[in-house]
Amino acid sequence: AGNPIHALGGVVAALDELSLPSNPPVGVTAARWGGGTSINAIPREAWVELDLRSESSGYLREAEAEVR
């Protein structure tokens, strides 16, 4: 099995490839991420908390669906 943090890095990088509206803009930020319990071991899991923002609630729902 690989390193979950490395796999999560690919997921976070893919956020830049999302096709999101620009007017009004939709922002998607990987605000916090982590995993594991020590610095010298491969973690068993990884997690990320995303911050999605927009002035349009409809666009926000679309962005959330695309991220999932």
Per-residue pLDDT tens for 21-39? 888 989 999 999 999 999 9
Can you give the residue range of the structural domain that contains 9?
Answer: 4-67
pLDDT for 1: 62
Is residue 18 pLDDT above 90, yes or no?
A: no
Decide if 63 contacts 57 (C-beta within 8 A). Answer: no
Instruction: Specify the number of domains making up the chain.
Output: 1
Per-residue pLDDT tens for 44-67? 999 999 999 999 988 888 888 888
Decide if 32 contacts 48 (C-beta within 8 A). Answer: yes
pLDDT for 64: 87
pLDDT for 65: 86
